[in-house]
């Protein structure tokens, strides 16, 4: 059974239309880094770039009224191979548990920032914290629903993704055939709930080894990341 508090989030890729979103649940005892790996898995991020997690909440004006702008509470990084953080003032995402963020309560946000060049940012809004003694702990993390495929590595960020989405809509041409064969999907609106939940049980552990132990993934891990299991 799930003995830890369960955190339910709504995730959305920032600044992109149509929305690519997920609703998912995790155990409260995971680290902030593990939360990042979970989001990466759901959004087709393959652990080949830098990662950071930021904690935000709606800014409250002196009058107490909630503003549309966000207030940055903290940033969490993964230490480099020498154990150093990008900024000493940032938190260590591998050591801080989600449940220890006392200021994380609805409607505050975490932003998973991946690939500082292409600048992918997924904002995850905390919807609720609850307990469910009947839910087996092995079921977490799990995604409940969503829409849209995710990102495509090294495509140039949201603008490049928009161009590729248009190529998929045409459903013909060399570019379409290349990406259709590579990704194993016929369009970029596809969201396979069962497949993503299968990957959530495997990929975050692989990503932890890449980021935290600085280990190059094995062939078996690469095959999982690249969905070679679909070829069998």
- pTM summary value: 0.92
Domain ranges of the chain: 6-151+188-231
For 117-156, the pLDDT digits (tens) are 999 999 999 999 999 999 988 999 999 999 999 999 998 9
Q: Measuring CA to CA, which residue among 104, 191, 115 is closest to residue 157?
A: 115
Q: Measuring CA to CA, which residue among 209, 196, 71, 202 is closest to residue 142?
A: 196
Indicate the pLDDT class of residue 74, thresholds 50, 70 and 90: confident
Is the domain covering 6-151+188-231 a CATH 3.10.290.30 domain? yes
Give, to the nearest 10 degrees, the angle between helix 32-42 and helix 193-200: 150
- Return the HEC string of 87-139: CCCCEECCCCEHHHCCCCCCCCEEEEEECCCCCEEEEEEEEEEECCCCCCHHH
Q: How far apart are CA 48 and CA 111, in angstroms?
A: 18
């Amino acid at each position: 059974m799930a003995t830890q508090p369960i955190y339910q989030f709504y995730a959305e890729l920032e600044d992109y239309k149509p929305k690519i979103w997920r609703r998912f649940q995790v155990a409260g005892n995971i680290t902030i880094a593990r939360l990042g790996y979970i989001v990466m898995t759901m959004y087709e991020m393959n652990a080949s770039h830098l990662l950071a997690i930021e904690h935000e909440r709606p800014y409250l004006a002196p009058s107490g009224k909630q503003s549309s702008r966000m207030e940055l509470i903290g940033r969490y990084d993964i230490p480099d191979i020498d154990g150093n953080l990008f900024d000493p003032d940032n938190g260590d995402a591998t050591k801080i548990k989600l449940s220890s963020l006392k200021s994380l309560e609805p409607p505050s946000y975490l932003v998973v920032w991946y690939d500082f060049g292409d600048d992918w940012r997924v904002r995850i809004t905390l919807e609720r914290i609850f307990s469910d003694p009947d839910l087996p702990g092995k079921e977490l993390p799990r995604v409940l629903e969503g829409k849209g495929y995710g990102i495509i590595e090294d495509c140039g960020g949201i603008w490049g993704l928009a161009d590729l989405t248009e190529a998929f809509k045409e459903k013909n041409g060399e570019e379409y055939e290349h990406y259709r064969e590579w990704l194993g999907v016929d369009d970029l609106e596809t969201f396979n709930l069962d497949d993503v939940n299968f990957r959530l049980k495997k990929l975050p552990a692989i990503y932890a080894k890449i980021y935290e132990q600085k280990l190059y993934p094995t062939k078996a891990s690469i095959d999982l990341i690249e969905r070679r299991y679909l070829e069998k």
